[in-house]
Structure 1
Amino acid sequence: MAKPNFGGLDYVKFIAAILVIANHTGPLLSYHANADFLISGILTRIAVPIFFMTSGYFFFRKQTGEQANDSKAWLGYMKKIGKLYGIAILLYIPLNVYTGYFKENFSAYSFFKDIVFDGTFYHLWYLPALIIGITITYFLYKKISLTSMLAIAGLLYVIGLLGDSYYGLIENTGGIKPLYDGMFSVFDYTRNGLFYAPIYLVLGAWAAKHPPKHARKPVVYASLFLLSLALMFAEGILLKSWELPRHDSMYVFALPATYFLFQWALLWKGKSGKAFREWRVWIYILHPIAIVLVRGAAEVINLESIFIANSLIHFATVCLLSVVMAAVAVKVSDIKFKLRS
């Protein structure tokens, strides 16, 4: 069996970070709304699953079955993600103030909801979702088999689907809808650490603990990925035409698409450096700031027609600025680490 090539995963995660920017900017929106939906409403929805699956893969690779070691790995991971989340929250306080976050319907309860589930800025939900998801899957892993974990995580995902892209199926049901109304009083979306993250984290754990027994050619995984992606496009188009989604974050065929892309990426040849790996994290965290800066600068120099109205140029500019900001953030972190050492 070929040795896993983690450089491929680094490249996929970098592409996924760019897809997140696409989701938040709509690169084709000024050209054709339906074409943009295919990109920002469907294709980009494999980005976060890739983040979750790779996180699950690397986390569970470190799980040896030795209680002290496993507990230490989990606590260390929680500390790492918690610290990153805390930094991200602080970074976005100025924008929170600017957008009126602390004025409009703000309360201790709404703040608690945002910290635990929704994030204090629209993209920060991912970090508490990762914390909750890793915690759920870690403790399940200690008690039950991976097969049972897949079943439980799959059930949670189905519950999440019915509150997201398949919401129209339960919207007019007397018995189920009130349950979802209750859930939505606690969090805004089901794409969170309870219903969305676990299945992809478990898929990552499965890939770590049950690698394929027989080596497969990259073309096999590439073909399976493209087939799954085509089915995901069909799923997204049909759901939209039937007006079922409450939100369009969760798709059934995102599961095989993510899994096969992951397995394909393990076979990619090439290496990546530590800085490149860390860029992805900061691109994700900083890109909303880049969006604000691009829009603000365009208004100041009266070039809104180019850098805002033209969605593709807007997207490309935000991507470029996000990468530059991420590179600076990584460099600053390295300098601080060297000074402490």
Structure 2
Amino acid sequence: MVEDMQKNQVKLRNHSVDLVKCIAALLVVSVHADAFSEMSPVLENIINGAFGRMAVPFFACVTGYYLTKYTEQNGRAWLNNVKSLLKYYILLSVIYVIWSSLSNQFQEMSVAVIVYTVVKRFVIYGTYYHLWFFPAMILSVIVLHLSIRWHKERLCWMLCLLGVIFGALTYNWHHLISWEQLPVLGRMMGWYDFDYIRRFITLIGPFTFLGNFIFRHKDQWMEK
């Protein structure tokens, strides 16, 4: 994804990041495949429930870091990143749409409803629920690009922090908190689209800007 940003430039690979990306990709597969569940519930909780949940934030953070870096060299870096994401997203979407059609998931739907459903999923939810990351990441890349262009990165850091705090209030933390009993928050949490919005404002967006924040402060930290 990020690698396509510098097509005409010499790429200096960070092999440590590449290694962690490979591990993170395997963890994503493990989470969705529910690996280790039959082998050991404890092992499943450690690998899938703990380490596996770090994979997507890591990808978002890496994207934010390198997009910020490459934007200083190439103002179209964000566009290259979006194209790269779309390339994989469209390919996977076509596969899942064909599979959904063959498994009769569109049965009794009119052509207009099928088109509307596929387009809405593609833009908001992910064509298949495993693919929710793509529209969220594309939106995050665009927001980061605009924040850099308009010099609003500090504002976005604060908004992302507020988003994380808000998101934390929408989880019950193993039934220790019942925020859903609040009238406004309760109705919001019952909204189908809310879960996808929450993933952006509490996960993809904040961690993308965390990568941006790290890049902006790395020299200052290295001097200490």
Q: The TM-score by the shorter chain falls in which range?
A: 0.7 to 0.9
Question: In the alignment, is residue 75 of structure 1 matched against residue 82 of structure 2?
Answer: no
Contact kept in structure 1, 2:172 and 2:178, CA below 8 Å: no
Question: In the alignment, is residue 18 of structure 1 matched against residue 22 of structure 2?
Answer: no
- Partner amino acid, structure 1, of 2:100: N
Gaps of 5+ in 1: 217-341
User: Residue 32 of structure 1: CA displacement?
Assistant: 3.3
Give the 3 Å change call, closer, same or farther, for CA 98–107 of structure 1 in structure 2.
closer
- Partner amino acid, structure 1, of 2:163: L
TM-score (norm: length of structure 1): 0.53
Give the 3 Å change call, closer, same or farther, for CA 172–165 of structure 1 in structure 2.
closer
The residue number in structure 1 matching 2:90 is 86
Question: In the alignment, is residue 148 of structure 1 matched against residue 152 of structure 2?
Answer: no
SS in 2 for 1:29: coil
Question: In the alignment, is residue 96 of structure 1 matched against residue 75 of structure 2?
Answer: no
The residue number in structure 1 matching 2:129 is 122
Matching of residues 1-341 of structure 1 within 5 Å = 6-64=14-72, 69-70=74-75, 72-103=76-107, 109-164=116-171, 166=173, 169-182=178-191, 184=192, 186=193, 188-190=195-197, 192-213=199-220, 215=222
User: Residue 86 of structure 1: CA displacement?
Assistant: 1.1
Contact kept in structure 1, 2:137 and 2:204, CA below 8 Å: yes
CA distance in structure 2 between the aligned counterparts of 1:14 and 1:165, rounded to whole angstroms: 32
Root mean square deviation, CA, Å = 2.9
The residue number in structure 2 matching 1:327 is none
- Partner amino acid, structure 1, of 2:53: R
Aligned residues: 207
Contact kept in structure 2, 1:153 and 1:199, CA below 8 Å: yes
The residue number in structure 2 matching 1:281 is none
CA distance in structure 2 between the aligned counterparts of 1:209 and 1:8, rounded to whole angstroms: 20
User: Residue 100 of structure 1: CA displacement?
Assistant: 3.7
Contact kept in structure 2, 1:133 and 1:194, CA below 8 Å: no
Give the 3 Å change call, closer, same or farther, for CA 61–44 of structure 1 in structure 2.
same
Give the 3 Å change call, closer, same or farther, for CA 99–187 of structure 1 in structure 2.
farther
Contact kept in structure 2, 1:128 and 1:193, CA below 8 Å: no
Give the 3 Å change call, closer, same or farther, for CA 32–209 of structure 1 in structure 2.
same
CA distance in structure 1 between the aligned counterparts of 2:169 and 2:115, rounded to whole angstroms: 29
Give the 3 Å change call, closer, same or farther, for CA 60–104 of structure 1 in structure 2.
farther
Identity of aligned pairs, percent? Answer: 25
- Partner amino acid, structure 2, of 1:122: Y
User: Residue 85 of structure 1: CA displacement?
Assistant: 1.3
Contact kept in structure 2, 1:117 and 1:128, CA below 8 Å: yes
**What are the superposed Cα offsets for residues 92-144 of structure 1, whole Å, 9 maximum, x if unpaired?**
23322344432388755543432122211232111111101111222123334
Contact kept in structure 2, 1:132 and 1:194, CA below 8 Å: no
Give the 3 Å change call, closer, same or farther, for CA 42–109 of structure 1 in structure 2.
farther
SS in 2 for 1:171: helix
Contact kept in structure 1, 2:60 and 2:137, CA below 8 Å: yes
Gaps of 5+ in 2: 1-11
Give the 3 Å change call, closer, same or farther, for CA 196–116 of structure 1 in structure 2.
farther
CA distance in structure 2 between the aligned counterparts of 1:52 and 1:104, rounded to whole angstroms: 38
Contact kept in structure 2, 1:163 and 1:189, CA below 8 Å: no
Q: Pick the structure with more helix per residue.
A: 2
